[in-house]
Amino acid sequence: MNKEFIEIRWHGRGGQGAITAAKIVAGAAFVSGYSGVVMAPSFGTERRGAPVMTSLKISKEKIYDLSPIETPDIIVVLDHLLLNEADVVCGLKPGGVIVLNTPKAFESYNFKGYRLATADITAISVEAGLPHGMVNTGIIGSLEKATNLLGMDILIKGIEEEFRTRRPEKNSLAAKIAFEKTVAGG
Amino acid sequence: MQAKTTILNLPTEEFVHPGTRACTGCGLAIAYRVGLKALGKDTILVVPPSCLTVLQGLFPIASTKLPCLNVTFASTAAAASGILATLKSQGKDNIKVAAWAGDGGTSDIGLQALSGAAERGENFIYLCYDNEGYMNTGVQRSGTTPMGAVTANTPFKGKLQQKKDVPAIMAAHNLSYVAACSAAYPLDLFDKIRKCMDMPGTKYIHIHIPCPPGWGYEARYGIKVGRLAVETGYYDLYEIVNGEFKLTAASEKLVEKRKLIPVREYFRSQSRFRILTDAQIAAIQNQIDAKWANYYKKDE
Amino acid sequence: MGTRNYRRKTSHSEHGPGDGGRTGSWRVERPVLNKSLCIPCKRNTEACFICWLLCPDVVISRTIPPKIDLEYCKGCGICAEECPTKAITMVDEAQFSEEEKEKE
Amino acid sequence: MHIIENGNVAAALGVRLCHVNVIAAYPITPQTPLTEKLSEYVEAGEMQAEYIPVESEHSALAVCIAASSAGARSFTATSSNGLLYMHEQVQWAAGARLSLVMCVVNRAVGAPWNVWNDQQDSISQRDTGWIQIYCCDHQQIIDSVIKAYWLAEKVSIPIMVCYDGYILSHTYMPFEVPEQEKVDKFLPPFRPDYALNPEEPANLNTVTLPDVRMDVRGELAHGYMEIRYLLHEEMRTSLTAAAEAEKRFADIFGRGGDPYVEPYLCDDAEYIAVGLGSLTYQLRVSVDTLRKEGIKVGVMGVRFYRPFPDEAVAKALKGKKGVIVYEKALSYGYEGALASDLKSALYEHLAGTGKLPFVQNFIAGIGGRDIKTDDLTQTLRAATKNRVSKEPVWIGLKL
């Protein structure tokens, strides 16, 4: 993966916190020296429960192109059921990474030509002490495990900063557990 | 209870200059002149387009000695809110804000902004001077034009609909003070403005304004026509203080007297009602009698 | 003659009399006071002043006797109509000579 | 300090830094998060301001007009039909010479309903007597709000700070938040020439006659025409004041540039793409691609759209072969308003020199249709070969 310019597309449901997760990663990328960071939620009428998308571009240079991501390097899916509803891998670069929150086994998926990473973030988050369904911090741990992009330290710092008034330790714990438990393909 | 103001103790300071462009015998000019005496010097006015815009003077001369912001037709109460916000941010709590708008500017185009401001509880006095039509543009019907009145755009049949009851609409906003006044009873208007001035939130005062060209009577009879509206029980003077309705002044006395002048006399005093038939007048008389029967009942 | 250096660049009006001009010229009839009928005049004390209260044009003074500013009085006749003792009567302007009018 | 936030927050922070006294707002997508954020600042005590949640946009601007007339620094924001509903008040604020700043978060106008970005809303207010500034990123949004207050108060003309809905308003990117002390140094407290008050009563915005008239002191006062002429004249001279604002800002904050246009690789270019807002930054990517192919092309963003910086524009376009104008709005029945304005400036300054470039107009992104960088590159490449069409060409139209 070209680490000068990375495009990540996040798939979640309205209310699931995909935007917050992307924002945390954006912030961590910026402090890691990526001066170009652009995070754009899918525009329009966001409704709780409906599928939503967020795109994140990370670059060493200022980003002038704010148009939607067409060929992402990484796809993050916060709910495995979205696989049935949307073409989440659309445009994913060959050899691109799919980070998937799923209770199912890694082996039960077959994404030819892509690198898959899975974890049961829903269960991990509960284990970390978060309310059921809060998966947007755990998934960051999986993303880091799958991509080795920014380093856990800086991501944990970002999570604790974002959630400073809302259970910061439990949120960072979810990311840490997810990092450990994520199964990533080669 | 507040002592009633008399002519002799009415403040002598005038806030309106002579030589305005108001029509000869303008009812608004009387109410405005006395109303400003009640409001006093430390007042900022807000005025939408209306006869008052003309009365107030054309650039660069103002007929009014109080600061005034002329605003667009639909925005009176919102503009009052803006001035209030500024005064609040500047800590100037001694300055009052008063909006003076016509019936069209209140009951029709300005109602949304007024409702919004009243709901927010903006602390100002809104005075609607009701000459029952768009007089400034040449006498067209408004929401408060009464049924049967011939106007420039109800030329033959007269207005077919009832007058919109704006004070009732405002009372539905749970205001601290709503009152109905008349230019023919300027001291009652003075006392009501004074009474509500320090009450919280939005205060609404409706003023019945005889209009010689719009209503069709000789200028000299303006006060008499206004008084007839009250004495026939057709237009009532009242106030609603924190939800409590009470007839006031001449209307209150009518309850004691138990005797109304037939409304026919009011209608026949103005040419705008010339097309009302005896049957129509009788029907309106019945409505008035029913309304007053209710007042009498409450009085017993 | 231009107005480039006028004080304001907005419609910013300052107050003064006679925006509508000398509105006394609008008058068809002139109010004339009969002091012998006027209540404050008769009693020589502050009283009545209904004419002052009801004048739409601020042209009647609250004095004994009440004075009417004919420069601006539009001649509506409300004062005459409402005077409880009929001390004010409306008189056709034509009855006043040109000379007299100029004097005012 | 750099933060990563969305464009609406950038605007809200700018408003907070300017110590605005009165805020009035009515919700409309995609502006809503901006004024929500301001209500948060006010309720949390992070900002000393009166926040009026009005019942309509018409009233929002009414509140600001009145507040400004009474001496308060005032702010509102809107989008799309909200701006159209304000239209009467927009004109009023300019005629009353009020130093207002309003953010317009650009969105398509109805009918039919559409919440996505184009610029038809603010372009339709072009002739209202407001200064219009267009932003390309969040740094420009926050800086423009601050500069706009200085300029509006200097010239007594209201200013719209326009930025693309969603593309900027809801997109997160890093930007520097100016320090409060520096903003206070840049922007002195608001001291209007006159503020409504009983000690010095005046009747404002009264009926004004077609001709001049004597005032109470015996001095001749303007007629309506003089008042309106001065609005126009002072809008023209506000171009100079804008340059002063830019320079003062650069001196204090160490950033800024040309106040009117933002050129990229224009000096040696033969063809120049021109537009308003974030689109011109996207066009930089196309320009980079075409430069690699050896095509001498540049892009120029017009930041200051009204008053129109005709001289700066003509100077930048002088000697070019072609001007390719990309617009997210148009004057229905003719062409994009910016294209017309550019033609007018070129004709005025270059007619007879034999150096008039052709002007090609593209319409893009209407109602939020995705503008793909590839499409921009292709259309730009095509336009450098031949003028494509006399009529504006709609990019990505699927008819």
Q: Which of D2, D3, D4 to mutate to test the interface with A (most CBs of A within 10 A)?
A: D4
Tokens of B62: 């103002």
pLDDT at C40: 97
* Shortest distance, CA D209 to any CA of chain C (angstroms): 10
Q: Quick one: pLDDT band at residue D395, thresholds 50, 70, 90?
A: very high
pLDDT at A27: 95
As to burial, measured by CB atoms within 10 angstroms (0-12 exposed, 13-18 middle, 19+ buried), residue B67 is buried
Nearest to D197 among B67, B75, B81 (CB): B67
Q: Quick one: pLDDT band at residue D355, thresholds 50, 70, 90?
A: confident
Distance CA B87, CA D358 (A): 55
Distance CA C35, CA C12 (A): 43
pLDDT in tens, C69-91: 999 999 999 999 999 999 999 99
Taking phi over 0 as left and psi of -120 to 50 as alpha, with beta for the rest, D138 belongs to alpha
Mean pLDDT of all residues in D150-158: 98
* Shortest distance, CA D164 to any CA of chain B (angstroms): 28
Distance CA B118, CA D11 (A): 30
pLDDT at A15: 80
Nearest to B79 among D65, D72, D213 (CB): D65
Tokens of D13: 């922070």
The Cα-based distances of B241 to B121, B188, D364 in angstroms read: 15, 15, 59
As a whole-number percent, the residues of chain B with pLDDT over 70 amount to 100
Contact A56, A38 (CB under 8 A): yes
Mean pLDDT of all residues in B205-221: 98
- pLDDT of B238 strictly over 80: yes
Mean pLDDT of all residues in A65-77: 94
- B65 vs C contacts (CB less than 8 Å): 15
Mean pLDDT of all residues in D293-314: 97
From the list C13, D213, C8, D194, the residue with the least C-alpha distance to B17 is C13
Q: Quick one: pLDDT band at residue A46, thresholds 50, 70, 90?
A: low
- D207 vs C contacts (CB less than 8 Å): 11
Residues 9-48 of B with CB under 8 A from C: 10, 12, 14, 16-22, 24-27, 29-30, 33-34
For residue D224, the chain C residue with the least C-alpha distance is C11
Q: List the chains bordering chain D where 3 or more Cβ pairs fall under 8 Å.
A: A, B, C
Mean pLDDT of all residues in A20-31: 95
Amino acid letter, B59? F
- The mean of the pLDDT values for chain D is 97
Please indicate if any CB of chain C lies within 8 Å of the CB of B155: no
Distance CA D29, CA B80 (A): 27
Q: Which of B8, B21, B24 to mutate to test the interface with C (most CBs of C within 10 A)?
A: B24
Taking phi over 0 as left and psi of -120 to 50 as alpha, with beta for the rest, B234 belongs to alpha
pLDDT in tens, D177-228: 999 999 999 999 999 999 999 999 999 999 999 999 999 999 999 999 999 9
User: Cis bond leading into B149, ω under 30°?
Assistant: no
pLDDT at C100: 67
Mean pLDDT of all residues in A171-179: 95
Q: Quick one: pLDDT band at residue B272, thresholds 50, 70, 90?
A: very high
For residue D230, the chain C residue with the least C-alpha distance is C9
pLDDT at B3: 85
Q: Quick one: pLDDT band at residue D124, thresholds 50, 70, 90?
A: very high
pLDDT at A109: 93
DSSP state of B213: I
Q: Which ipTM value was assigned to this complex?
A: 0.94
For residue D95, the chain C residue with the least C-alpha distance is C10
Distance CA B144, CA A167 (A): 60
Q: Which residues contact D245 (CB under 8 A, 6 or more apart)?
A: D147, D150, D151, D154, D259
* Shortest distance, CA D127 to any CA of chain C (angstroms): 19
- pLDDT of A186 strictly over 90: no
CB contact under 8 A, D207 and B46: no
As a whole-number percent, the residues of chain B with pLDDT over 90 amount to 98
- B25 vs C contacts (CB less than 8 Å): 56, 74, 76-78
Contact B41, B95 (CB under 8 A): no
pLDDT in tens, B41-77: 999 999 999 999 999 999 999 999 999 999 999 999 9
DSSP β-bridge partners for residue A56: A8, A39
* Shortest distance, CA C89 to any CA of chain D (angstroms): 34
Q: Which residues contact C90 (CB under 8 A, 6 or more apart)?
A: B220, C29, C30, C31, C32, C75, C77, C80
Nearest to D206 among C3, C9, C11 (CB): C11
CB contact under 8 A, B67 and D71: no
In terms of DSSP bridges, do strands B203-208 and B125-130 run parallel, antiparallel, or are they unpaired?
parallel
* Shortest distance, CA D119 to any CA of chain A (angstroms): 16
Q: Which residues contact A177 (CB under 8 A, 6 or more apart)?
A: A124, A127, A128, A138, A141
- pLDDT of A11 strictly over 80: yes
CB contact under 8 A, B62 and C90: no
Contact B8, C49 (CB under 8 A): yes
DSSP β-bridge partners for residue D298: D272
Q: Quick one: pLDDT band at residue D257, thresholds 50, 70, 90?
A: confident
Angle ∠(D198,D199,D204) on CA atoms, nearest 5: 55
Amino acid letter, C104? E
pLDDT in tens, B105-122: 999 999 999 999 999 999
- pLDDT of B2 strictly over 80: no
For residue D117, the chain A residue with the least C-alpha distance is A43
pLDDT in tens, A94-149: 999 999 999 999 999 999 899 999 999 999 999 999 998 899 999 999 999 999 99
From the list D107, D100, D213, D109, the residue with the least C-alpha distance to D157 is D100
Please indicate if any CB of chain A lies within 8 Å of the CB of D287: no
pLDDT at A51: 86
- C22 vs B contacts (CB less than 8 Å): 19
Distance CA B161, CA B170 (A): 20
Distance CA A167, CA A160 (A): 8
- pLDDT of D380 strictly over 80: yes
